[in-house]
Amino acid sequence: MNDLTLDMQLLNTFAALFLLTSFAMLSQRRVVTMVNLLSLQGLLLGLATLLLAWRTGQGHLYLSGALTLALKALFLPWLLHRLIKRLGVYWDSEPLLNISGTMLVGLLIVIFAFGLAQPITALATTTTRSAIGIAIAVVLLAFLTMITRRKAMSQVVGFLSMENGLFFGAMSATYGMPMIVELGVALDILVAMLVLGVFFFQIREQFDSLDLHHLENLREDK
Amino acid sequence: MSALHWFTQVLEVLAALLAAPLFMGWINQCRAWLQNKSAPSLLQPYRGIRKLFHKDAVLASNASSLFRMAPYVVFGTMVCAAAIIPSLGTRLPISNAADAIALVGLFATARVFMSLAAMDVGTAFGTLGARREMLVGFLAEPALLMVIFLASLISASTALPAISEDIATRTLALYPSLAFTAVAFLLVLLAENARIPVDNPATHLELTMIHEAMLLEYSARHLALMEWSAALKLLNYACIGFALFLPWGVATGESPTPGSLLTSIPILALKLTAAGFLLALIETVSAKLRIFRAPEFLATAFLFAVLGLLVHLLLGA
């Protein structure tokens, strides 16, 4: 029976959609769409955080929700879009594993993550504890996205999605991390993004492509 | 079982039979509007079927009796399916005979007979269409079953009327898992009914057609029955969708009043109108997939359905 209050139902819906965006990212070939999905994921995360803040009355969650919305739903996607436009990389090459195969592996990962989360869920005392499994699944799916892509841009999107998953996990297990940690992580992500942006140009300059397996050669002459 | 229950049953089958070509006509009309073409009349499918019934049938000289039998079998299974699906009321005397899993089996029977008949004459196109149909079918079926399993898990029954009644009468709540499976069901509906991302119902281009390729050898009354059953199948799928995800407005309860039965008819018409428009919209905005992308499309449907199940188990909603 479903006898939850409306805000819990909404939180659960956000959690489910959060997982869905992860899968959508996994199935995408186009980098632009992946960035849009990342933005949507950030939006869902921000809304869920704000809703949780309202429900639990914890002031710092409002702040981190607002930060998430500003940074992950708006600023980072904007930055990525700009990078894509300047680099002219709209498509990823075909993923290492075909799409249906990747999705089936993703499904197994979700089952694994849900199983993994069970003991943690039993220990947690928050009302959102059932969503821990979803957070772990999102982190692992982001890993899979990074593993199956060749291009640097898609890997960065996977990396950011992984951070979203970690944040969501912290939120559902303990109502968020201490403010100082959250600020630190947000700043880290921002700086990492800027540095990676510079990196992209350097990689392209060196190899004429953003395909990362060029980096696997240690010497210049093959 | 009261007389009213039997009346509901008969009314439902008759309504499905009569409304199916109209539903098809409505979709075609919406599609024409959206694509800026002049629309054919709403009654065009009826005229087509009537015309075909008046013609003399032509059979290939090497056609076996299976070829002649197949249209009747296919049409019969679709009528049976229409009798099980609660589109107007949930107390249907015949629906005790088969649950939702048997319903999937009924659709499979129709598919097998259609494919066999298409291969029977031995033309290249028929065989090609039959093979493609089986490719789509074997991927769509597990997804459809998963959708039904989730609904059964929520309402603790595999009988479609019971599921429908349970969902209609419980308190309104957000079910993320049902939303997932609704998307999965929509994908299955598009694939199974030869709609655009997978097949194009309006084309006779050899390289892309699936459903039409299987009907190439049919003429006259056989073709009429096949087309009518294709329309019925689409209507049936739409009604399954309503029964699982939008069951409100259907006459429920042990003894439905004649009034609730009366109001359920315009409500069904309203739902079908909206669904037809939605289908036409989807078909207009999406491009046809290459046939080798179809497994990907249906893998997505399966994935959505299983995700729905998992989310239900994890969140309990």
**What pLDDT shows up at residue B180?**
86
Q: Which of B21, B27, B18 is nearest to B44 (CA)?
A: B21
**What pLDDT shows up at residue A218?**
66
Q: Tokens 């992209």 appear where? A: A200
Single-letter amino acid, residue B75: F
Per-residue pLDDT at B317 exceeds 70: no
Which among B171, B176, B310 has CB closest to A110?
B310
Instruction: Extract the tokens encoding B302.
Output: 């399966």
- Please tell me whether residue B40 adopts helix, strand or coil conformation: coil
Which among A13, A15, A99 has CB closest to B296?
A99
Q: Does B175 touch chain A (CB under 8 A)?
A: yes
* Higher-pLDDT residue of A153, B28: B28
Per-residue pLDDT at B191 exceeds 60: yes
- Please tell me whether residue A76 adopts helix, strand or coil conformation: helix
B303 by Cβ neighbours in 10 Å (0-12 / 13-18 / 19+) ranks as: buried
Going by pLDDT thresholds of 50, 70 and 90, the confidence category of residue B109 is very high
Chain A partners within 8 Å of B173 (Cβ)? 2, 4, 9
Q: Does A131 touch chain B (CB under 8 A)?
A: yes
Question: Which residue of chain A is at minimal alpha-carbon distance from B174?
Answer: A9
**What pLDDT shows up at residue A126?**
74
Which among A6, A16, A103 has CB closest to B176?
A16
ipTM of this predicted complex? Answer: 0.75
Q: Does B313 touch chain A (CB under 8 A)?
A: yes
What would the DSSP string read from start to end of A94-138? PPSS-HHHHHHHHHHHHHHHHHHHHHHHHH--STTGGGHHHHHHH
Q: Which of A22, A187, A199, A11 is nearest to A110 (CA)?
A: A22
Per-residue pLDDT at B79 exceeds 80: yes
Span B8-30, mean pLDDT? 89
Span B287-307, mean pLDDT? 85
**What pLDDT shows up at residue B113?**
92
Per-residue pLDDT at B208 exceeds 60: yes
Q: Does B317 touch chain A (CB under 8 A)?
A: yes
Chain B partners within 8 Å of A24 (Cβ)? none
* Higher-pLDDT residue of B147, B212: B147
Chain A partners within 8 Å of B314 (Cβ)? 114, 130, 133-134
**What pLDDT shows up at residue A186?**
82
d(CA B249, CA B88): 8
Q: What is the 3-state secondary structure (H, E, C) of B97-128?
A: HCCHHHHHHHHHHHHHHHHHHHHHCCCHHHHH
| Number of CB atoms found within 10 A of residue A6's CB | 10
Q: Do B174 and A103 touch (CB under 8 A)?
A: no
Chain B partners within 8 Å of A111 (Cβ)? 310
Mean per-residue pLDDT of chain B: 86
Q: Do A131 and B295 touch (CB under 8 A)?
A: no
Which portions of chain A are predicted below pLDDT 50? 1
Q: Tokens 């970690």 appear where? A: A166
Per-residue pLDDT at B163 exceeds 70: yes
Q: Does B262 touch chain A (CB under 8 A)?
A: no
